[in-house]
Amino acid sequence: MVKRIGTFRRKTRHKLKKNIKARGKISLTKYFQTFKVGEKVVLTAEPAVQKGMYFPRYYGKAGVIKATKGKCYEVTIKDIKKEKTLIVHPVHMKRA
């Protein structure tokens, strides 16, 4: 297999770019939001926070919260035919 050069944020110039009006400090209510197990969420990455960010391939995918892991949540999504579990910080999610 070919060895990839760079981190997971490569080739994401437009996907991980904020609107000009949304730049600056992030919302603390979005950072500290809480979810319940079984709740449906949509993955929307917050580019200003790298901690708890998922791989950008899953941007915009909908999933279900399976469990909590520290400050983050385990989110189950469907990727084509497979069911995958991602560990995501709440700043990168919004309710569906």
Nearest to 46 by CA among 89, 87, 95: 89
Domains of the chain, earliest start first: 20-95 (2.30.30.70)
pLDDT in tens, 41-56: 999 999 999 999 999 9
Contact by Cβ (8 Å): 65, 36 = yes
Q: Is pLDDT at 88 greater than 90 in this prediction? A: yes
pLDDT over 90 percentage in the chain:
77
CA gap 17, 30 in Å, rounded = 18
CA gap 54, 4 in Å, rounded = 18
